[in-house]
Amino acid sequence: MNKILWLLLAVLLLLPDWAWANPGVKALTVTTNPDGSQDYTMTLQTLAIMTALSLIPAFIMMMTSFTRIIVVLSILRQAIGLQQSPSNQILIGVSLFLSMFIMAPVFEQINEMALQPYLNEDITSVEAYERAKQPMRAFMLSQTRVKDLETFVEIGGYEGQFQDPQEVPMNVLIPAFVTSELKTAFQIGFMLFLPFLIIDLVVASVLMAMGMMMLSPMIVALPFKLMLFVLVDGWNLIFGTLASSFGMGV
């Protein structure tokens, strides 16, 4: 995914709506004093953009498939019994690139609907922002449970104000989406944990029956869990399951 697409996603989706209300406002105002000196004043729009730049990583992770993937991979590492391998850097890198692969159709829609028309000066920044929201909203709604959405609608005091989920504002949709992603990730993690837990129980029972109570079952079970994971082509299954859980290949 090219950098300009990521920049568009950040600028169009992360800035508050009011920051786009006056697209013609100058970023920097220069005032010349009677004595010849000059004062420089930064507008609120520029300040909002600079503030939003620091929030880009959090929003990118919370509004894409990254959350589900990184949680599942972390649970998988814990289930196998490996504390530091793969390292956090590797897990984050894998999650980022897998997220880019899963989100590619959404980013392509943003590119066609908002980025290219905006670069060609066919639409304004406000129109580009509204167009770019639609693919992201559709993606998040497709992965958000109705119960989670209703919970945040109730917490926000919006009961009875929306007849259709498409009308729900982004400040309600995003936390509902994150909640659903965490629940789904834990469900997948639970299914991953079961076979490795069975191996731990079998190894612990065998060691106890042999009177080897001083030997840690975790140490003995680790090679068997690694062997099982390799024999069933675990990484292929995990990545395929994660991709299909977002509707890819359906």
Does 230 score more than 50 pLDDT? yes
Does 52 score more than 70 pLDDT? no
Does 114 score more than 70 pLDDT? yes
Token output for 1: 């995914």
- At 246 the pLDDT is 83
Token output for 181: 């992603």
Residue pLDDT, tens place only, 158-212: 777 777 777 788 888 888 899 999 999 999 989 988 888 888 888 888 878 877 7
More confident residue, 80 or 249: 80
What does pTM read for this prediction? 0.73
Encode the chain in three state secondary structure: CCHHHHHHHHHHHHCCHHHHCCCCCCCEEEEECCCCCEEEEECHHHHHHHHHHCCHHHHHHHCCCHHHHHHHHHHHHHHHCCCCCCCHHHHHHHHHHHHHHHHHHHHHHHHHHHHHHHHCCCCCHHHHHHHHHHHHHHHHHHHCCHHHHHHHHHHCCCCCCCCCHHHCCHHHHHHHHHHHHHHHHHHHHHHHHHHHHHHHHHHHHHHHHCCCCCCCHHHHHHHHHHHHHHHCCHHHHHHHHHHHHCCCCC
Residue written as tokens 């196998």? Answer: 80
Strand partners for 40:
30
Distance CA 206, CA 217 (A): 9
Residue pLDDT, tens place only, 57-77: 777 778 888 889 999 999 988
Distance CA 106, CA 114 (A): 12
Residue pLDDT, tens place only, 100-109: 888 888 888 8
